[in-house]
Amino acid sequence: MTKSLYFSAIALFAVGITFSCSQTKTTQSQTSNTDFKLGNKQVTVYTTAQNTDHRLTQTETLQFKDFGQPLETQVCVFVDPAKTFQTMVGIGGAITDATAETVAKMPKEKQQEILKAYYDPTAGIGYTLARTTIHSSDFATGSYTYIEENDKELKTFSVRHDEQFRIPFIKQAIAAAGGKLTTYASPWSPPAFMKDTKTMLRGGKLLPEYRQPWADYFVKFVNAYEKAGIPIWGLTVQNEPMAKQTWESCIFTAEEERDFIKNFLGPTLYKNGMKDKKLIAWDHNRDLIYQRASTVLNDPEAAKYVWGIGYHWYETWTGSDMLFDNLRKVKETFPETNLIFTEGCIEKFDFNRINDWSLGERYGYSMVNDFNAGTVAWTDWNMVLDEKGGPNHVGNFCFAPIHADTRNGKVYYTNSYYYLGHFSKFVKPGAKRIISSSNRDALQTTAFLNPDGKVAVVVLNTTDKKLPYKLWINGKAADAISLPHSIATLVL
């Protein structure tokens, strides 16, 4: 499919509804005084749908009419722009070594195509958020750190390794995003000599005598990246702290993470003028998120350093569905602490599944429910991977929204790219989530009031059914249709 057709389909699949309204400052779960007068304003619909050419494609315009009380037999999506909740930070993806190296192997025009596809707010899907790694993860060609072995005083610290691929790509991404890209970083493991297992792989724990040097390592990373021209907005304490992986990993119990934050990492950041860096705890799955959050945040000396609780979507490896209710419990209990989705991807790459529609639907399902649970930022895992789902130094190959075939220079857009775009293209930083509810479980929905006064409503249909419905706001309704296996966004 041509690139123009892909973007056309993107517009169709994300149904974005924008409503002109006077801008009102609202707080979470507060009623706005704004009187939304829809009048004869039109709604522009963008759609992505299976068995069609629609990929974020502008498909139709709708008209609101007086409607009043709907019947139970009438399918509706109800939107209330007067009730606002969390404020959005951004939506984006991770710039790993694998992503940067893969893009660097592509022809120059394809490199620019990929940057534009992700970061251009008009021709692309307008990413505003990025995650990167503190030295190596599994998605690199090998394990490495920024210091020489046994350098306890960090005298040899250098990010020279990242200057070949990752730092240049992040700087290109910042430029493509208009000069600003909210970027945070996560470590997968301390250097081997700092751990009880003496290896960066297969779990292990940080030795007590290296807690301070490891905290200092974070500071040196931030200083080095910012000196290179990459502002660091935030840091997570440890990627997947309860996972003993075959790749870089390190175990922290909830109590160990709490104590590392309050006694070492938090004070070290503050002492080095980094009080403004957003510190994110947990950075693992939704299954244990309440236990982790409560252990850390019930300690005021640890909680004062923590901006948010990060989470992934891989609790499904146990056979569970995604546990969105656990997010709600954290938000209800700790309303001042932010929820941020820090990683998710489809595992076990198979090139024959590149057009599998379920890839994107998993993104849509997660994002609708994550945002409705109170999440303020959402980060995909690798933005770009190669034709093998890598590179990855332990064979943990995965899907990405875009795959770049380094053998022939071709770029493949999976439908995940478009599903993501239905949110990132229409939901801007500073947007506030508003109420959007459906009277049928076949239609899942979330909605946002953007800083410019426009409302974006996303409607997700993962069924085989074509579902006519009414978009209902303040006693007026517009007739819409949700195609089978589709996602949409609407604009007034």
Q: What's the pLDDT tens digit per position in 159-202?
A: 999 999 999 999 999 999 999 999 999 999 999 999 999 999 99
How far from 166 is each of 123, 228, 254, CA to CA, in Å?
24, 11, 31
Per-residue pLDDT at 300 exceeds 80: yes
Per-residue pLDDT at 7 exceeds 50: no
Per-residue pLDDT at 27 exceeds 80: no
Q: Active-site residue 248, yes or no? A: no
d(CA 284, CA 340): 11
Tell me what pLDDT residue 135 has: 98
Q: What is the pLDDT of residues 104-142, one digit of tens each?
A: 999 999 999 999 999 999 999 999 999 999 999 999 999
Pairing state between β 57-63 and 42-49: antiparallel
6-22 b/e (C-beta count within 10 Å ≥ 16 → b): bbbbbbbbbbbbbbebe
Tell me what pLDDT residue 298 has: 98
Tell me what pLDDT residue 42 has: 84
Q: How confident is residue 9, by pLDDT bands cut at 50, 70 and 90?
A: very low
Per-residue pLDDT at 479 exceeds 60: yes
Higher-confidence residue of 31 and 168: namely: 168
Phi, psi of 294 (to 5 degrees): -65, -40
Which among 466, 444, 474, 425 is positioned nearest to 44, based on CA atoms? 425
Q: How confident is residue 438, by pLDDT bands cut at 50, 70 and 90?
A: very high
Give me the domains of the chain, ranges plus CATH numbers.
42-86+434-491 (2.60.40.1180), 90-429 (3.20.20.80)
Q: How confident is residue 29, by pLDDT bands cut at 50, 70 and 90?
A: low
Residue 117 CA from chain centroid, whole number: 16
Which among 439, 478, 491, 437 is positioned nearest to 66, based on CA atoms? 478
d(CA 415, CA 224): 36
Residue 58 near residue 45 (C-beta atoms within 8 A): yes
Residue 137 near residue 398 (C-beta atoms within 8 A): no
Per-residue pLDDT at 263 exceeds 80: yes
Q: Active-site residue 149, yes or no? A: no
Q: Tell me, letter by letter, the H, E, C secondary structure of the chain.
A: CCHHHHHHHHHHHCECCCCCCCCCCCCCCEECCCCCCCCCCEEEEEEEECCCCCCEEEEEEEECEECCCCCCCCCEEEEEEEEEEEECCEEEEECCHHHHHHHHCCCHHHHHHHHHHHHCCCCCCCCCEEEEEECCCCCCCCCCCCCCCCCCCCCCCCCHHHHCCHHHHHHHHHHHCCCCCEEEEEECCCCHHHECCCCCECCCCECHHHHHHHHHHHHHHHHHHHHCCCCCCEEECCCCCCCCCCCECCCCCHHHHHHHHHHHHHHHHHHCCCCCCEEEEEEEECCCHHHHHHHHHCCHHHHCCEEEEEEECHHHHHCCCCCHHHHHHHHHHCCCCEEEEEECCCECCCHHHCCCCHHHHHHHHHHHHHHHCCEEEEEEEECEEECCCCCCCCCCCECCCEEEECCCCEEEECHHHHHHHHHHCCCCCCCEEEEEEECCCCEEEEEEECCCCCEEEEEEECCCCCEEEEEEECCEEEEEEECCCEEEEEEC
d(CA 394, CA 441): 40
Question: Cβ of 301: how many Cβ atoms within 10 Å?
Answer: 13
Q: For 333-339, what is the mean pLDDT?
A: 98
Pairing state between β 432-438 and 76-87: antiparallel
128 residue type, one letter: T
61 residue type, one letter: T
Question: Cβ of 465: how many Cβ atoms within 10 Å?
Answer: 12
Tell me what pLDDT residue 23 has: 34
Catalytic residue of the set 240, 257, 315, 361: 240
Residue 470 near residue 477 (C-beta atoms within 8 A): yes
d(CA 408, CA 106): 9
- Residue 423 burial (10 A CB sphere; 0-12, 13-18, 19+): buried
Q: What is the pLDDT of residues 373-429, one digit of tens each?
A: 999 999 999 999 999 999 999 999 999 999 999 999 999 999 999 999 999 999 999
d(CA 425, CA 14): 9
Pairing state between β 402-405 and 432-438: unpaired
Catalytic residue of the set 101, 113, 248, 343: 343
Q: For 154-163, what is the mean pLDDT?
A: 98
d(CA 107, CA 103): 8
pTM: 0.93
454 residue type, one letter: K
d(CA 98, CA 100): 6
Angle at 454 between CA 362 and CA 71, to 5 degrees: 70
Tell me what pLDDT residue 492 has: 82
d(CA 473, CA 492): 12
CA dihedral 157, 158, 161, 164 (to 10 degrees): 170
Give the mean pLDDT of the chain. Answer: 93
